Structure formats: C-alpha cells, structure tokens
Structure 1
C-alpha cells in the first residue's frame, strides 16, 4: 500500500497552506460579524461550519483544477446541503434518523444539481448536530453564514490563486483552437464533449475534468513523440538556405519561385526577418482559380471591387498565418507528428520569431531513410562480428 498522490513541491505546499489560512481566517471573522448569537444550549453552529469550510479551502487552494473544487460545486453544493440540513432538522425529530438522512439527501441534491462537493455533506451533517440552535435560526442559516462565507472563501481563492500563478476557476478548453505562429500544437482531435463522455464512461468525471484530461493527453502525446529518435533535433535536418516571399509579393512572382526552385511551400517573411505565414501550392492554385475566394462577399466590398480595376493578390492575401512552428532544438519525433497531421507540407524553424530554416516532408523522409540505413548497417556489422 502506497500513496496515490505524488509529493508536491515545497513551494506549492506553502502556497496552498498560506492561501487556505488567509481564506479561513477571513471567513471566521465574517461568521462572527454576520451570525446573530443563538440562545439555545449546545455547540455553536457557526463553529461547526468552519470544519466543512476547511475542506472547501483544501480543494480550492491545493487542487484548484479539480471539478470538485470549482465555484459552482462549492457554492451551490454548500448552500443546497445547508438547506437540506435545515429541512431535515425542521421535519425529523429522531437524531439517529436525521443524521443519515441529511447526508443522503444532500448527496442526491448535489448530484442532481451537478454540484458535487464532498465538504458540503459536512454542512448538512453539522446542521443536524446543532439542531436546537439551527431551529432558532431557520432557513436563513443556509444564506448567512453558509452562502456568504463560501462566497468570501471562493473570492479569496480566485484572487490568491491568480496572484500566485494558478488558474482558478479552471475553465473548459476551447475545442480545436487554431494554432498561431510560434506554436507547434500536438493536441489530438478530441473535443471536450467527447472527453467528458469518456470520463463518465470510466466513472472518473468527479475526479478529473475534461480540461485536465485534454492537457494530460496532450502532454503524454508530446512526450511520446519526443522519445522517437532520441538525440536527433531539428537543427540537424532542416534546410537553412530557404527561398522566401515577402508580404507584398504578387502571386505571379510567387508562382515563378515555385517553378524555379521546385518547392511546394514558401515561407512569408517580413523585411525584419520575422516569420508571418506559409504559402503552399494549393493556396496559390485556389487563389489563381478564384481571386476573390478569401475576400469578404459583403455588398459594400462587391461594390468597391466592381468600381476599381482588379488588383493582383499578394502573399499576405493568400498565406496561412496560423501554422505549426518549431525551434532548432525540437526533437525529430515532434516534427514527425506535426507533419503527419497533413495540414502543412513544411514546418518553419524559428528563433525568437525569425525564420532560420525549414523542414519539408522531403527533408524528414531523407532523415528517416538515413537513420534506417545507419541502423541496418549496425545490425549487419553486429551479425558479421557474431559469425
């Protein structure tokens, strides 16, 4: 038997503990300020409220990306459970029955509201344990202090997490987000709905959110790609003598470059050397076949085009600005994965945004063939030595 959770870094431990301490201290003061004193004998319900709020703080500060820690789960879960607890106290007189019933009903309500929050079961149970005091307060107990203090704790969590570099609340990822210049994305083509359905099928939707799973798949996919051909980097196979176009170059000149240099992709580079996009043969053919394909077909634009001579499109009009790019130290496995997606014929190599080379599919095939020949030669030599 061993721990299921990895050992967190000391900095993260201190960050979470300090944040939780600040949040709970403020909540304690707010409870005392807003909760009217009760006359019934027995434990103070406001003190018992701090126990489940401590568990809420643990989730919001230590594991802010968990679905159980999100504001909807915490706020709705705690408040709904408090209402359930007060309702049970008002209607059930047998303590042994009220204890189990409050937690059971609170769990049902939380799951129906999609607000599963484990500490909230403690809120319902706490209401029953302080039944005499809660009866005097009534249903207002669910709003002050439960709703009010949970809101304060979550507000502190949002501010503290952001100040210390954590994202909270943790939002769902954008599906199929476009790749911008300078980003080599290896995200599998699975949208958040499919990921959510997968987690539900495996019974893990309460433990990990679709956003977390997407990041995990992406990281694992990238790590696996980097292990292919360990030690081989982009700089070893890229072409440094690159034919380029500038943003205002007419498409007729781009076509001439394609014919002259027998290439299938041209990077578009500004006069400052900064990479701006790629022009492929298919982009050029599409533009020459239909020059207005990328233009807005609105009434105003049609009238303007009809009132002037047709102007030849330039590179900036036909290029694709959102493409995957790499650096000189990118592993060969990442390049293979990126080009295998089929969206682009070549991958620009950038250094601080400036084009320093390009890797075409031909370059990649040549590198793979060379690696295969080397491996085959080593095998032959080893077999010869054995004989």
Structure 2
C-alpha cells in the first residue's frame, strides 16, 4: 500500500456502519432526554444578570455530548453514571473556583480544561463532555461568580442526573443494558465456562486493558464478550462443515440389555473400550454402560441383614443373581444425529460425565463418537498436512 493510501485510510471511518434501527433508537432517546433537561434548566434557572450569556443554557452543549454517549454508546466506560455525574460536577466546581481566583480569562480557560481532565482521571470518572462544562463556566465567569459553587449542584449535577435517569429507563426499554458496569463481586469471573476454551479471570482482563492503555475505552465485561464471541467464530471456522458422520465410528461393539455385567466387563476389556452402547434386538438404542458404571454396581454398600428364617434360606439364591447391562447402564445421555455439527459434540463431551456420544437415526444406533474420535478430528483440523503416525512407531 502506498504512503498516500495509508494516510487516506487512517483518515477514514474507524467504526462500522450502525444498523438503522440502532441509529433511530439512539437519536430518539437522546432527543427525549435532552428536551427534558432543557425543561428542567428553565424551571431551575437562577435569576442571573440580564447582560451576558445564560450559563444554565450554555450547559446544554456539554449535556448534548453526554446524551450522545449515554444513548448511542451506553456500554462505553465514558458513558457510565459515575463518570458523567462525577465528571460534570467536579469540572463545574473547578470552573467556579477558577473564575473566583484567576483574573486573567486566557489563563482560566487553559487551566479549566487541564485541571478538569486531571481531576476526572484521578477520580476514575473520565467523561469528555465534562471538559466542556468547565470551559462553559469560565466563559460565563461574570454571571457564574454571582451564584458561586451551588452552580455545580444545580443545575449541573441535577440536570446530569435527570439525563442519566432517562437513559437508564430508555435503554432498558429498548433492549440495551445501562448502566453497564457491575459491582466487582457480580462481574464476570471468566470469559467462558471451563472446557476446551481457556478461562480468563476478570482481574486478568483488567490488567490487559491497563497494559494496552485501553481501560478508558472498553471495560473488562466488554472485552470478555468480545473474546467469547471471537472464540465462537474461530471454532466455527476451524470446524466449519464438519458433522457427526465424518468423525464417528460405524463398526461399534454393543451389548444387549440382558447381558450380565461380568460379560459386559469382558467385552470392555477385550476391545479396550471405555463405553459400550446398549441396544435391543431391534437395534434401538437403550443407554450407555461405562467402566465407571460397572465399578459402581460392584461397589454398592451391603443391605441391612434381616434375621427371618425365610430370608436366611433365600439369601444365597438372592446373592447369586448377577445384575445385567440394563441394570447399570446410563439411560439419560446426550445423543446426536449424522448431521450434528462437531461443535455440539465438543460441548457434550467437554461437560465431563459422558465418554462418548451415540449417533442415532430414528432411535437406531448408527455410530458412536468417542473422545478419541474427537481428538483425532481436532488434530486433523489443526494440522491438516501432518501425516498420521505409523502404528508401532
């Protein structure tokens, strides 16, 4: 890319085009909120001197910028209530203090923005429109000086709170979450549930943003959502078009429901399996028997011994009854069809309790996807050019 093309590209739009519905939602909300603020300014305005600009009306300019943030980008850290209320109020206090102590207008103008920015950063209340509040106070110094520090609370804080209250109600009614920040104990602790995707704690997300100096532009919860969405898209790309039929084992060793568990154990040992599907004589799937199920059936605690004569006589025959596959199998298991995407199989096997996923066609077993099948599919997707290892090597 040529240099002039890079320059033109850097001057172009840096964000995508918003949806028309979102544009209308934000614009209407900002207009409603700002109109109510203008009405409140008219009601609460103090009796200023007739000469000079009205500082309460001049306040509408930075409040318009606050409305833009609160309604158009309500997830931004710059738009949150703490940033808006504290930022606007502190900036107004700094502006009033300057008009009362600094006689040179040019110096007061420069100091108003500088000190307001520093105070907002120290208080973790960075709100760009607040710099306009401080500047507006200095520009109307003659009339603000008559009111004093109360100007920072009414109308600045009062109008800011009204605007934010409208933003809270309007955003929630139109499907947006505002305020977006959450208390630390309620904040997301990880990007996703433990599984194939790595978990990232909230403090680590915060540290990433601070290291990249992006903590004023995006919050940890936003970053968590972005990473989670990126993981999902990456998985879709990695396994795009891969379904059960492409990875399943078709030649499956099975057992009938009435096979004694000793024979089931022999099958599992003979074929070096972890899971054995149970199917009836019609080929209909009944459940799964795993090695864990067998161990659990043999490790049952002894029942309380009854002392009746008949019970003692019948006990040897009762103890001789061996459980069968239907007695120990797991009936409630996740299943799939031949067109089930690989991502669904990953979720089923990543949950931990299930060793394999039966693949069914109208209730009949047609295949089985084990964890070994899944690992082979993952390896093939990750390293498509790698040749399979030679047996015995």
Given the two structures, how large is their TM-score scaled by the length of structure 2?
0.67
Shift of 1:359: 4.5
2:334 and 2:224 mapped to 1: Cα distance? Answer: 19
1:151 and 1:127 mapped to 2: Cα distance? Answer: 19
2:212 and 2:67 mapped to 1: Cα distance? Answer: 28
1:349 and 1:44 mapped to 2: Cα distance? Answer: 75
Corresponding residue of 1:164: 174
2:334 and 2:123 mapped to 1: Cα distance? Answer: 41
Q: Cα RMSD between the aligned structures?
A: 4.5
Corresponding residue of 1:128: 138
TM alignment of 1:299-314, pairs within 5 A: none
2:86 and 2:136 mapped to 1: Cα distance? Answer: 17
In the superposition, relative to structure 1, how do residues 152 and 188 fare at CA in structure 2: closer, same or farther (>3 Å)?
farther
Corresponding residue of 2:326: none
- 1:364 maps to 2:371: no
Shift of 1:62: 0.7
Match for residue 174 of structure 1 among 188, 193, 198: 188
Which sits farther off after the overlay, 93-102 or 169-178?
169-178
Shift of 1:52: 0.6
1:30 and 1:145 mapped to 2: Cα distance? Answer: 8
Which sits farther off after the overlay, 186-195 or 232-241?
232-241
Corresponding residue of 2:202: 192
In the superposition, relative to structure 1, how do residues 368 and 156 fare at CA in structure 2: closer, same or farther (>3 Å)?
closer
Corresponding residue of 2:15: 5
Corresponding residue of 1:28: 38
Q: Deviations over 1:193-221 (max 9, x none)?
A: 11111111111111111111111111111
Shift of 1:10: 0.6
User: Is contact 1:347–1:360 with CA below 8 Å preserved after alignment?
Assistant: yes
1:282 and 1:158 mapped to 2: Cα distance? Answer: 53
TM alignment of 1:194-273, pairs within 5 A: 194-234=204-244, 237=247, 259=265, 262=268, 264=274
Which sits farther off after the overlay, 212-221 or 117-126?
212-221
Where 1:206 maps in the other structure, the secondary structure is coil
2:289 and 2:103 mapped to 1: Cα distance? Answer: 77
1:327 and 1:13 mapped to 2: Cα distance? Answer: 42
Corresponding residue of 1:46: 56
User: Is contact 2:59–2:133 with CA below 8 Å preserved after alignment?
Assistant: yes
Where 2:59 maps in the other structure, the secondary structure is helix
Shift of 1:103: 0.8
1:324 and 1:85 mapped to 2: Cα distance? Answer: 65
2:263 and 2:79 mapped to 1: Cα distance? Answer: 57
Match for residue 105 of structure 2 among 92, 95, 101: 95
Shift of 1:174: 1.6
Shift of 1:70: 0.9
2:177 and 2:289 mapped to 1: Cα distance? Answer: 37
TM alignment of 1:68-107, pairs within 5 A: 68-107=78-117
Given the two structures, how large is their TM-score scaled by the length of structure 1?
0.68
Q: Structure 1 stretches of 5 or more lacking a match?
A: 244-254, 268-277, 292-318, 351-355, 378-387
In the superposition, relative to structure 1, how do residues 97 and 210 fare at CA in structure 2: closer, same or farther (>3 Å)?
same
1:25 and 1:266 mapped to 2: Cα distance? Answer: 69
